[in-house]
Amino acid sequence: DIQLTQSPSFLSASVGDRVTITCRASQGISSYLAWYQQKPGKAPKLLIYAASTLQSGVPSRFSGSGSGTEFTLTISSLQPEDFATYYCQQLNSYLTFGGGTKVEIK
């Protein structure tokens, strides 16, 4: 099975901060990676697919990069509505999710 390790698992940041979340795969997955945002009590929402393609309607302050085994999700200027938990998911086989990164207000 392919394992995904997200870091950090928790981060505290202020509005306007640049935030970067890393997702590492235990073996190469090309660009078969998606990022989701989840707010409390809600279903996950797709942000990015194919590692770097922004889903329609998602603000451009979100961006994704990487291929192979290392991927990043960047929020260029954190907004109040961005405080949430973020998950990566590999799409290559057996659809594993990372452990999540909770972004909280500093």
Partner 1 sequence: QITLKESGPTLVKPTQTLTLTCTFSGFSLSTSGVGVGWIRQPPGKALEWLALIYWNDDKRYSPSLKSRLTITKDTSKNQVVLTMTNMDPVDTATYYCAHRLGWFGWFDPWGQGTLVTVSS
Interface ranges with partner 1 (CB under 8 A): 1, 32, 34, 36, 38, 43-46, 49, 55, 87, 89, 91-92, 94-100
Q: Between 17 and 63, name the residue whose CB sits nearer to partner 1.
A: 63
Any idea what DSSP says for residue 14?
-
Residue reference for tokens 């928790």: 10
Q: Between 1 and 81, name the residue whose CB sits nearer to partner 1.
A: 1
Q: Report, in Å, the least distance between residue 99 CB and partner 1.
A: 5
Strand order in the sheet with 53-54: 10-13, 101-105, 85-90, 33-38, 45-49, 53-54
Closest to 29 in 3D by CA, of 81, 55, 66? 66
Tell me the residue type at 49.
Y
Q: How big is the CA angle at 35 (ends 29 and 39), to the nearest 5 degrees?
A: 150
Q: Report, in Å, the least distance between residue 68 CB and partner 1.
A: 15
Q: Report, in Å, the least distance between residue 15 CB and partner 1.
A: 25
Q: Between 43 and 60, name the residue whose CB sits nearer to partner 1.
A: 43
Q: Report, in Å, the least distance between residue 6 CB and partner 1.
A: 9
